Amino acid sequence: MTGTRFKLFPQPQFLESFGEPEIVEVSSPVGSVGPGPEDHRMYTIFPIGKTQPYGISPDGQDPAAPPWTGPVEPPAEPDADGHFDYLEPGTPQFETAHLFGTVRFVMDIWEDYFDREIPWQGDTRYEKQELTILHSLENAYSGFGFIEMGVDRSDGETRPFALNFDVIAHEVGHAIIYSEVGVPDPRRFTGEYFGFHESAADLVALISSLHFNSLVDLLLENTHGNLYMLNAAMRIAELSENKQIRIAANDVRLSEFAKGWVKEHHLGQPLTGAFFDILVDIFHEMLLDYGAISPEMEALSDELLATHSYAPVMQELFDEAYADHPDLFKLALLDARDILGTYLADTWQRLSRQDLSFADVADAMLAVDQAHTDGRFATIIAGNFRLRDIGEAVVGPQLAPLGEDSHANSVRTMLPMD
Ligand SMILES: [Zn+2]
């Protein structure tokens, strides 16, 4: 059976290299996605006259919750064959189709890694998840029964997040963690729980974006496999050519938060950075397996990593190795991507939502590696967490309340209702 086709931007449309959308086929059997788009698990709407985002209460009372019952823009309709890729950018219908198609694309990827359907956290209360577009909101939220997409207006232009793959995938990441890890009892929240949420959401975006053929090809053409070069895959939730919300390849250590923390996005960086380095190390292992790089080159890469000589020396070696075996580099990168994706899915299922720490994440990942490969990557995993002081550093208190821009705000909409 064939799936349903959508036209998606692998990265924001305004980035030069990704001006053209890619046509992808999601798992929904053709004909099963109706106007909206809508299927048996979610529906997309572009409300007219909605002023408040969900989960934020205007008067401090009950937060607004889905469903939206007011007027909406006309839905995106499937073509005669049941596909949505005929829609062109510039209309509310393209936006809703892009949002739905991206959420389904990302869920397909992670349901593969989980090897089963991922339920929505709100499944018991909401029959379907609402995917909402709200241009008056300068943020994006994932919450109980909804994923809501605002816009970025930071440089005078209005850029809808519904067209931003990374932002949508990041919010789907939050939804997966709400469902698979859950929300702690009120007294058993930790700062690291919030940091973990942001980190996991970023990793969902990063791994998912590596499922676009065009992005993987461009990434390899630009770096020749030296993934520490700043490039598309390391920028998450890219807003413009030179402004990035977060960078996966970073040097932040958990001990930097010993005195306390303010933004959970920053607190999550040591964890994201450790996972990015693990991805690179597994990629190098795969390159070795394929014979695309020599053991000497791999050893040199490890040795030089923390030094200033790394970039000039290694880039030359990568240029040569990549020129000989571009196809093997691609295979190795896809292998590394899928190993990390599978490990993350298994790791999250082992975590307790109560009193969560990054050390728990590290321990769970080592147990997953033991179960999958008898510990083939144990040295890589343990070493990268140790480099971030994870397992040793103790995180200080929360120094300021979570800000308006905090995605963790929506956590309160996830708490069980009395
Ligand atoms: Zn977030």
pLDDT tens sequence across 104-152: 999 999 999 999 999 998 677 888 999 999 999 988 999 889 999 999 8
Q: Which amino acid, 85?
A: D
Which pLDDT score, from 0 to 100, does residue 348 have? 98
3-state secondary structure at position 127: coil
State in Å: Cα 204 to ligand 1 middle: 11
Angstrom distance (rounded) from CA 252 to CA 237: 19
Q: What is the pLDDT averaged over residues 35-53? A: 96
State in Å: Cα 170 to ligand 1 middle: 6
Q: What pTM was computed for the model? A: 0.93
State in Å: Cα 169 to ligand 1 middle: 10
Which pLDDT score, from 0 to 100, does residue 264 have? 87
State in Å: Cα 319 to ligand 1 middle: 36
DSSP letter for 398, please: B
State in Å: Cα 305 to ligand 1 middle: 29
State in Å: Cα 328 to ligand 1 middle: 34
State in Å: Cα 153 to ligand 1 middle: 18
State in Å: Cα 162 to ligand 1 middle: 15
What domains appear along the chain, each with residue ranges and CATH number? 7-180 (3.10.170), 211-387 (no CATH)
pLDDT tens sequence across 255-265: 999 999 998 88
State in Å: Cα 10 to ligand 1 middle: 19
State in Å: Cα 322 to ligand 1 middle: 35
State in Å: Cα 174 to ligand 1 middle: 7
pLDDT tens sequence across 222-246: 889 988 775 545 555 555 544 555 5
State in Å: Cα 313 to ligand 1 middle: 36
pLDDT tens sequence across 298-319: 888 888 877 778 878 888 999 9
Among residues 240, 172, 189, the alpha carbon closest in space to that of 397 is found at 189
Among residues 208, 231, 224, 348, the alpha carbon closest in space to that of 287 is found at 224
Confidence of residue 194 (pLDDT cuts 50, 70, 90): very high
Long-range (24+ apart) CB contacts under 8 A made by 151-160 are: 152/239, 154/239, 154/243, 155/239, 155/240, 155/243, 159/12, 159/14, 159/239, 160/95, 160/133, 160/135
State in Å: Cα 310 to ligand 1 middle: 32
Angstrom distance (rounded) from CA 47 to CA 126: 19
State in Å: Cα 320 to ligand 1 middle: 39
Q: What is the pLDDT averaged over residues 202-218? A: 90
State in Å: Cα 248 to ligand 1 middle: 14
State in Å: Cα 306 to ligand 1 middle: 29
Which pLDDT score, from 0 to 100, does residue 251 have? 84
State in Å: Cα 337 to ligand 1 middle: 21
Q: Which of 2-11, 211-220, 230-239, 373-382 has the lowest mean pLDDT?
A: 230-239
pLDDT tens sequence across 98-114: 999 999 999 999 999 99
State in Å: Cα 238 to ligand 1 middle: 13
Q: Which amino acid, 240?
A: S
Confidence of residue 418 (pLDDT cuts 50, 70, 90): very low
Tokens of 287: 């390159």
State in Å: Cα 197 to ligand 1 middle: 7
State in Å: Cα 265 to ligand 1 middle: 7
DSSP of 287-324, one letter per residue? Answer: HHHHTSS-HHHHHHHHHHTTSTTHHHHHHHHHHHHHHH
State in Å: Cα 410 to ligand 1 middle: 10
The share of the chain scoring above pLDDT 90, in percent, equals: 67
State in Å: Cα 171 to ligand 1 middle: 6
